Structure 1
Amino acid sequence: MIRLHITAEGQTEKAFVDQVLTPHLAHFDVYTDARCVLTSKDKRAAKEYRGGLISYQKAKADIETWMKEDANQECWFTSMFDLYALPEDFPGFDEAKRLEPYQRIERLEAAFGNEMNKPNFIPYIQLHEFESLILADPAKLDWEYLEHDQPIGNLVKMVGSQNPELINDGRETAPSKRILKEIPEYDKVTSGVSVAAHIGLDALRASCKHFDEWVSRLENLGGKE
């Protein structure tokens, strides 16, 4: 039995892991749990605040703390961070920003893995953010947003035959910004995860190459064919 701890950028990614990835990976004898990355602590109140990738150093320290808390041999760790708005102190950031998206993500993940320097850590950065998964099949937004035929149709037309992982990271043109432009009431934590689940892992993986590679690596941890 393999246990997999996933450090998620925020509540959306955590909910996606809990609701979609966890039941899927259980079929491969990989049992997951997820928590949002630590952002701050209130020592007086003994409280932790989690969610939001503020800095690389904070994320690294949080993952390293979890590794110390669970150092068992059968335990693995991974991340689910967005490329969009990635902190500039991330290893390899300056060099990677000059590269094409898939090369950029490869360079960043390699630098991340080298910095962590743990054989049981699998670095993963989502191209370009969680909403890339929604744009794998934006027509499924009607699962949550009834009577939005025209806005959803606009998104379907915009995506067309594009690779959703390559829909860019501009402040006004990132996947989430495109969805919000058409559906201002879009809520990523509840509706976004629900729509992604409705699209289904098979369709998400077919449209999102880098995401598929990550899921395959996680499946293979269990040693099943």
Structure 2
Amino acid sequence: MSDCIEVVAIVEGKTEQTFIESLLKPYLARKMIFMRATQVTKPGQKGGDVRFERVKRDLGLHLKQRRDTYVTTLVDYYGTKEWPGLELVPSGATPSEIARVVNEATKKEVVASFPEQRADRRFIPYMAIHEFEALLFSSSAILATRLGKKESHVKAVLTACGEPEAINNHPETAPSKRLDAWSKNGKFSKTTTGMAIAREIGIDRMREKCPLFNGWIESFEAMIGEQA
């Protein structure tokens, strides 16, 4: 039995890697969960539409390296075109329904591909519904202040959609597009402004407002004391 665990997170791009390394990693370390992020996107390639075959290749490499580590993913559903379970998602599905269908299909595929690496216990799939920017809607006050907007603008989005993880899955109304429109130069900086806002909001508030993100972290917390 172990009172700590190590997790390798295979992420979509530089923004997700920065978020984990600068914010989530120190937060989890206090809970004896030691996470590091590795980027699957090839150098020079923008995020979005990450292909599962490339991710599966990296999953296999990390599952085979050490048998006492856990492996997870951080890829967003928005814009993904090739991934297990996409064809099974019903029209009009809620964020939780999308995540359940896709994560179950992903787990099934990885377990079948790497049975000797105990992927059934060591692999935790996480398909975020939207890109990193959705988490920034966890505090309408902080987001509005940082962007110099009225808080009512942010609240209106949350009222219409229900929660940050349910913000529209559409090219014009996705979280990143909304933040671009609210930015003075028409382009929101994820790695500078975005990380500063995320740091001010804090992981705890994100967990409170984003149930899928919270469930992902809870899956690691539940493993403390278990044997990988």
**How far did 1:97 drift?**
4.7
Greater helix percent: which structure? Answer: 2
Match of 1:129 in 2: 131
Greater strand percent: which structure? Answer: 1
Are residues 1:62 and 2:58 paired?
yes
Q: Deviations over 1:68-87 (max 9, x none)?
A: 2x2232x101111111111x
Match of 2:33 in 1: 30
Q: 1:134–1:192: 8 Å Cα contact kept in structure 2?
A: yes
Q: Deviations over 1:94-114 (max 9, x none)?
A: 111533321111000000111
How many residue pairs are counted as aligned between the two chains? Answer: 210
Q: Following the alignment from structure 2 to structure 1, what is the Cα–Cα distance between the partners of residues 122 and 17?
A: 20
Q: Deviations over 1:169-200 (max 9, x none)?
A: 10101111111111123111222122112111
> What stretches of structure 2 of length at least 5 have no aligned partner?
112-118
Match of 1:176 in 2: 176
Are residues 1:140 and 2:142 paired?
yes
Identity %: 28
Q: 1:28–1:223: 8 Å Cα contact kept in structure 2?
A: no
Q: Following the alignment from structure 2 to structure 1, what is the Cα–Cα distance between the partners of residues 17 and 219?
A: 19
Match of 2:158 in 1: 159
Q: Deviations over 1:16-43 (max 9, x none)?
A: 111111111112211111011143xxxx
Q: Deviations over 1:130-149 (max 9, x none)?
A: 1110111133236654xx23
Q: Deviations over 1:139-163 (max 9, x none)?
A: 3236654xx234x652333324721
RMSD: 2.1
> What stretches of structure 1 of length at least 5 have no aligned partner?
40-47
TM, length-normalised to structure 2: 0.83
Match of 1:72 in 2: 67
**How far did 1:128 drift?**
2.2
Q: 1:143–1:195: 8 Å Cα contact kept in structure 2?
A: no
